[in-house]
């Protein structure tokens, strides 16, 4: 495993500089590679990177992304956030029966820390979703996170080395 990059400014700049390379690699991944094998590699890389990066000291995803809420997430958060009505801060996607904050950053974010970390929505808990199956089918979302999340950045960079090195 390479040295991990955690500087958010450097990651954002590298994402910009490597945009063409990343598009080519994404196309390569979609070109008929065994998606189950890619999922296994990504999961292994994720398991190596995750313990080396402290998400709770970053908060960049909370600053720049919009988490999706299910009804059960809203009910759980409502119990903790008693002084405010959480629904006043949400917009609904009725087709998907999901909700998102109506403003960024997340209102639970203070000084890069989540005020409701133990009650955070399932989408926040499972972010950056690299442990899930279907990595290749989620490449658009992965690339959106690549410039934002040090975990995604480092896993994707390691994946390039791992996959290109075996072809």
Of the two residues 4 and 57, the one the predictor is more confident about is 4
Looking at the chain, the whole-number percentage of residues with pLDDT higher than 90 is 51
How many domains does the chain contain in total? 2
Query: What mean pLDDT do residues 54-79 have?
Result: 86
CA distance 45 to 160: 11
Question: What phi and psi values does residue 3 have, to the nearest 5 degrees?
Answer: -65, 135
Q: Do 144 and 97 share a domain, yes or no?
A: no
**What pLDDT sits at residue 66?**
82
Is residue 30 included in any domain, yes or no?
no
Q: Do 83 and 103 share a domain, yes or no?
A: yes
CA distance 149 to 139: 14
Q: Do 110 and 73 share a domain, yes or no?
A: yes
pLDDT at 72 over 80: yes
Q: Do 107 and 73 share a domain, yes or no?
A: yes
Q: Do 99 and 72 share a domain, yes or no?
A: yes
Is residue 154 included in any domain, yes or no?
yes
Helix (H/G/I), strand (E/B), else coil: 99: strand
Domain extent at residue 113: 66-126
Which pTM value belongs to this model? 0.88
Indicate the pLDDT class of residue 82, thresholds 50, 70 and 90: low
């Amino acid at each position: 495993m390479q040295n991990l990059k955690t500087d958010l400014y450097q990651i954002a700049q590298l994402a910009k500089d490597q945009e063409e390379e990343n598009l080519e690699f994404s196309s390569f991944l979609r070109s008929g590679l065994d998606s189950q094998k890619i999922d296994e590699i990504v999961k292994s890389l994720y398991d190596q990177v995750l313990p080396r990066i402290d998400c709770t000291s970053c908060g960049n995803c909370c600053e720049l992304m919009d988490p999706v809420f299910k009804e059960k997430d809203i009910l759980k958060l409502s119990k903790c956030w008693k002084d405010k009505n959480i629904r006043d801060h949400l917009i609904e996607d009725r087709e998907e029966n999901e909700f998102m904050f109506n403003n960024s950053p997340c209102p639970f974010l203070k000084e890069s820390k989540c005020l409701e970390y133990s009650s955070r929505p399932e989408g926040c808990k499972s972010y950056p979703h690299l442990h899930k199956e279907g990595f290749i089918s989620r490449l658009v979302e992965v690339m959106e996170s690549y410039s934002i999340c040090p975990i995604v950045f480092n896993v994707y960079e390691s994946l390039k080395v791992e996959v290109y090195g075996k072809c």
